[in-house]
């Protein structure tokens, strides 16, 4: 056997021994069960990652669901999920939520959020003050902010939503939401928010960029367009990091799944196409 054939056989043996590689990250996840629960903002990302990961590791079972960010760390703490998706670092306290000190957080993406209206709505820009007054019930008609003479239907996410937490902190500068009203409604998931705005020309809501499509549009915030480029430049402020949380250090298939999402292949590929931002692009 010549030297070149020996090298080729050794190389193949090495790949077989350590599994596939994601930009130099070896995968040993040839079997196992991954259960991801939590954030609907991160759901497009975790669903796409699951599809790609299962193609590479066909013996690994990956189940992904989304309800709210708080369900992510809660499910992991209770043992109902192996990985929790959450729109804030759940190991630290944020307004309204305790710290899950038994968990470990893994940063996987920057999530940009947009204020959304129906495409039939002529409004193109809203300021912090205008949004504060709309969500407080002080501004009730679109004509007060340059739109049609029509009552604003205010759509909010329910308590426990990471999108709600970040939107309140970043877009409303911490101002309180109203809790009831004739034209106020709350929805549980990002998809439900999209449906509410998509089907009502007078609705106002918010989602992360991955959901801005179809019959909805993102409006500018304080005169700055809602684009990933502006988030990276630092001019568009309504964004947060997204995390996957585990019970202590992840092992086996869970560890390899998180490594895959953090790999350059996924960060600069599917993650970017879904309008999330690679973590290494944020200063």
In 3D space, the residue among 184, 129, 132 whose CA is nearest the CA of residue 158 turns out to be 184
Give the residue ranges of the chain where pLDDT is below 50.
Answer: 3-20, 24-26, 28-29
**Whole-number CA gyration radius for the chain:** 21
Distances in Å between the Cα of 249 and the Cα atoms of 37, 83, 164, 253, 255 are 17, 11, 28, 12, 8
Beta bridge partners of 216: 118
Residue 22, pLDDT score: 56
pLDDT in tens, 126-139: 999 999 999 999 99
Burial class (CB in 10 A: 0-12, 13-18, 19+), 137: middle
Q: What is the pTM of this model?
A: 0.89
In 3D space, the residue among 84, 73, 79, 97 whose CA is nearest the CA of residue 43 turns out to be 84
In 3D space, the residue among 4, 165, 153 whose CA is nearest the CA of residue 69 turns out to be 165
Domains 22-111+240-281 and 112-233 share a fold: yes
DSSP state of 177: P
Beta bridge partners of 209: none
Question: How far is residue 25's CA from residue 28's CA, in Å, rounded to a whole number?
Answer: 10
pLDDT in tens, 219-264: 999 999 999 999 999 999 999 999 999 999 999 999 999 999 999 9
Residue 283, pLDDT score: 76
Contact of 21 with 57, CB cutoff 8 Å? no
The backbone torsions φ and ψ at residue 106, rounded to the nearest 5 degrees and listed phi first, read -125, 115
Residue 30, pLDDT score: 67
Residue 17, pLDDT score: 38
Report the CATH superfamily, name and number, of domain 22-111+240-281.
Answer: Periplasmic binding protein-like II (3.40.190.10)
Structure tokens at 113: 């959020």
Residue 21, pLDDT score: 52
The backbone torsions φ and ψ at residue 216, rounded to the nearest 5 degrees and listed phi first, read -120, 160
Angle between helices 252-262 and 43-56 (to 10 degrees): 110
Please tell me whether residue 83 adopts helix, strand or coil conformation: strand
The CATH number fitting domain 112-233, selected from 3.90.330.10, 3.30.565.10, 3.40.50.300, 3.40.190.10: 3.40.190.10
Residue 31, pLDDT score: 85
């Amino acid at each position: 056997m010549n030297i070149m054939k020996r090298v080729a056989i050794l190389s193949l043996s090495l790949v077989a021994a350590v599994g596939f590689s994601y930009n130099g990250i070896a995968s040993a996840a040839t079997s196992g069960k991954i259960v991801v629960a939590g954030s609907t903002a991160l759901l497009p990302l975790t669903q796409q990652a699951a599809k790609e990961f299962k193609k590479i590791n066909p013996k690994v079972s990956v189940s992904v669901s989304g309800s709210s960010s708080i369900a992510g760390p809660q499910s992991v703490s209770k043992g109902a999920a192996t990985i929790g998706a959450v729109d804030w670092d759940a190991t630290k306290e944020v307004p309204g939520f305790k710290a899950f000190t038994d968990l470990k957080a893994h940063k996987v993406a920057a999530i940009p959020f947009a204020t959304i209206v129906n495409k039939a709505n002529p409004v193109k820009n809203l300021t912090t003050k205008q949004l504060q007054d709309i969500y407080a019930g002080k501004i009730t008609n679109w004509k007060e902010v340059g739109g049609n003479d029509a009552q604003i239907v205010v759509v909010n996410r329910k308590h426990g939503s990471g999108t709600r937490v970040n939107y309140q902190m970043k877009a409303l500068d911490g101002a309180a939401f109203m809790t009831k009203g004739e034209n106020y409604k709350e929805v549980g998931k990002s998809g439900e928010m999209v449906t509410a705005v998509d089907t009502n020309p007078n609705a106002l809501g918010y989602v992360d960029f991955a959901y801005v499509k179809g019959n909805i549009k993102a409006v500018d915030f304080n005169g700055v367009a809602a684009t990933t480029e502006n988030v990276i430049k630092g001019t568009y402020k309504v964004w947060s990091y997204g995390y996957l949380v585990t019970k202590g250090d992840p092992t086996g298939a869970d560890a390899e799944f998180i490594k895959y999402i953090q790999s350059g292949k996924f960060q600069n590929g599917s993650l970017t196409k879904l309008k999330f931002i690679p973590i290494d692009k944020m200063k």
